[in-house]
Structure formats: structure tokens, C-alpha cells
Structure 1
Amino acid sequence: MPKFAQILDNKVYWIFEADMQPEFAPYIVIKDIADLVPQPQEGWLYDEATDTFSPPPEPGPEGLQPTLEEQIYAENLYQTALLEMQFLGGA
């Protein structure tokens, strides 16, 4: 059965099988990937200029850093713990 990939922001967003390539809105990019080796996976990068797929780069140390939302959440937990300790007569 033919295999297709939906491309969103130059990245494989969704992989699915269908008897024929579906007709979506013109801005939705669908590529036939049935005969490609290696098979692209969700999250792979797509280069429109060369019509090729590649795996995403390995995350470096910067990939291990918390997001801004995670940092804010951690700070909120820390501040809440300090307030609770003060309320209970500690620190």
C-alpha cells in the first residue's frame, strides 16, 4: 500500500498509508514516501529545494536545557516552598 508523509514547516508531521494520494487543500504538502530508503519518520526534516528527507540532528547540550515554561514552573514551585516553610516557622 502506498505510504505518504504530510509536511508541515519543513518537517514530517504525519505518516499514513492510503490507496491513492488524497486531495487536501493546496497549502497542505503531501509527499509519496513508499519507495524511499531509508523511510522518513515523523519528525524528520524535509528540504523542498532538493526534495529530500533527513533525520533531525542529535540534540546537543542546549537540547537538554529546560524551556522557558519549565523554568517559570520550577521557580514558582521553589517560591511556593519557601513561603510554606516560612508559614510553618522554618527558614
Structure 2
Amino acid sequence: MKKFAQIINSKLHWIFEADEKPEFAPDIVIIDITDKPDVQEGWDYNEETGKFTAPILTVPEPNPTPVDPIQQLIELQAQTVLNTEMLLLQKEIGI
């Protein structure tokens, strides 16, 4: 039994076994990977070289400016006080 890989957009999409390479539509790329036991679904495929490589996973960088929840609360409270004072002042002067 041979192992085959279906390639979609330069990625190994599906690995399956069959006695012979199946005939699919001409736009479906099927490659014999019987001699490549380490290859896995999700790996990148280079059509020019015919080689598979594991994808490079990138980890997003952490937020460079961490938020201090206490400081954020103090700022929100101060803004609420200012807004309240502004509304009272506008009421006193008749705006």
C-alpha cells in the first residue's frame, strides 16, 4: 500500500493510502509520499523543489504596554467626577 498526499495552495491537505495513485480532476495535486514517512498534514510543499517542510509557527508578541487595572479604574473614576462636575456647573449657569 502506498501513501499519497493531496496538496492545496502549497500545503499538504490530506494523507491517504491506496494501491495506485488515484485519478482525480486535473487541478487536484496528488503526490506519492511513500518514501517520506515523517511528512504530516499541514506541512508546506515547495512545488519547485518537491520538498515538504514543517510550518513555522509564530507566537504573537505580548502587549508591550500592560494595563494596570487599578490605574485604569482610578482614571475612569476621575473622568466620571469631572463629567459630573461639568454637568452640575452647566445646570447652575443655565446651559
Bucket of the pairwise TM-score, normalised by the shorter protein: 0.5 to 0.7
Matches within 5 A, 1:5-24: 5-24=5-24
Name the structure 2 match of 1:59. 58
RMSD: 1.6
* Cα separation, 2, equivalents of 1:43 and 1:6: 11
By how many angstroms is 1:48 displaced?
0.2
Aligned residues: 62
Return the alpha-carbon distance in structure 1 between the equivalents of residues 14 and 59 of structure 2: 25
Runs of 5+ consecutive residues of structure 1 not aligned to the other structure = 65-91
TM-score, normalised to structure 1's length? 0.63
1:48 correspondence with 2:11:
no
Structure 1 stretches of at least 4 aligned residues deviating more than 4 Å after TM superposition: none
Measure the CA separation in 2 of the matches of 1:21 and 1:33: 11
| Residue type at the aligned position of 1:18 | A
State how far apart, in whole Å, the 2-side matches of 1:31 and 1:48 are.
Answer: 11
Q: CA deviation at 1:44?
A: 0.3
Matched residues, percent identical?
Answer: 56
Larger radius of gyration: 2
* Runs (5+) with no aligned partner, structure 2: 63-95
Using the size of structure 2 for normalisation, the TM-score is: 0.61
